[in-house]
């Protein structure tokens, strides 16, 4: 009993620490890029980063705080409405994170591409298209997650634990047809946006490789060369993208394992909870660490 209590206190402390640090860091990034957006001629890249920080904050509040409270043993603290809101927002925020990271990668690839290239001709001259895309992301992910508003219930209203990966809510069984429709939509969304992210990332890697070869040539010619700011920004975006892909793919793998596992593996369940919060907690610190770098790069454009 004492061991279980110690484990619960440790788990609660870790989740509270991660959620608190992640929230503070994302609010800092959110405020800083709002100031940068207003003071830099309203650049599209800042708008995307503002939205990314806001999406992370939603993830931390909809997943981090309920998980922290549930770790204390208060698994019935949410009613049906609370479960509807938290689970729905968590799913919407997950989709928004995929879409926003994809948009960030594509826009950065456009920014760093030569103006004469096909990518270069797509350069955004205003924030209007980005705002429309962000609105589309909200509508898309809100509709794709709509089934959760019907199927989610608080555990206190039912003794059957139909979900292995949620401590405070369970999911009522739906018809196979409805499940297939929403699952297909989610898979299509993930495939499209991750495909766009992968294509843009590959293009940026190609440009970075060409620049590296150019630098080697100049060094051999004993000429000084400084990495262009847009290429340094691209390196930062690629690092952010790799961080997202790591947490997303690992979370998917662990979630599949939990879905097909016949036993209730608490250790794997805790790992899945950490992975869900991992990107939302780590990504703002990556931006803060390279903030001066990024500001210099994007101001120079």
How confident is the model at residue 238, as a pLDDT?
A: 85
User: CB under 8 Å to 261, separation ≥6 — which residues?
Assistant: 164, 268
Digit-coded pLDDT (tens) for 147-206 = 777 665 554 444 444 444 455 566 666 667 777 888 888 989 999 999 999 988 888 888
pLDDT higher than threshold 60 for residue 26: yes
Instruction: Write down the pLDDT at residue 85.
Output: 81
- The tens digit of pLDDT for each residue in 80-113 reads 677 778 888 888 999 999 999 999 999 888 887 7
- Quote the domain boundaries for residue 23: 2-299
What's the pTM?
0.82
Number of domains in the chain: 1
Q: What is the CATH number of the domain that holds 62?
A: 1.20.1070.10
């Amino acid at each position: 009993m004492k061991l279980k209590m110690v484990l619960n206190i440790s788990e609660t402390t870790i989740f509270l620490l991660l959620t608190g640090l992640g929230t503070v860091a994302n609010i800092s990034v959110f405020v800083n890029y709002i100031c940068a957006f207003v003071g830099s001629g309203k650049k599209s890249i800042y708008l995307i980063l503002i939205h990314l920080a806001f999406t992370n904050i939603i993830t931390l509040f909809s997943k981090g705080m309920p998980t922290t409270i549930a770790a204390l043993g208060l698994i019935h603290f949410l009613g049906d409405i609370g479960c509807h809101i938290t689970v729905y927002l968590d799913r919407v925020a997950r989709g928004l994170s995929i879409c926003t990271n994809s948009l960030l990668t594509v826009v950065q690839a456009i920014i760093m591409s030569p103006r004469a290239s096909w990518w270069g001709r797509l350069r955004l001259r205003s924030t209007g298209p980005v705002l429309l895309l962000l609105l589309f992301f909200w509508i898309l992910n809100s509709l794709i997650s709509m089934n959760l508003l019907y199927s989610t219930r608080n555990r206190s209203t039912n003794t059957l634990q139909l979900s292995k990966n949620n401590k405070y809510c369970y999911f009522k069984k739906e018809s196979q047809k409805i499940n297939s429709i929403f699952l297909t939509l989610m898979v299509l969304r993930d495939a499209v946006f991750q495909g766009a992210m992968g294509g843009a990332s590959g293009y940026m890697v190609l440009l970075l490789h060409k620049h590296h070869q150019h630098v080697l040539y100049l060094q051999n010619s004993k000429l000084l060369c400084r990495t262009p700011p847009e290429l340094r920004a691209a390196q930062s975006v690629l690092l952010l993208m790799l961080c997202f892909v790591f947490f997303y793919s690992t979370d998917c793998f662990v979630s599949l394992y939990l879905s097909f596992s016949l036993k209730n593996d608490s250790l794997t369940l805790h790992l899945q909870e950490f992975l869900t919060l991992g990107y939302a907690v780590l990504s703002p610190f990556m931006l803060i660490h390279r903030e001066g770098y990024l500001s210099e790069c994007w101001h120079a454009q």
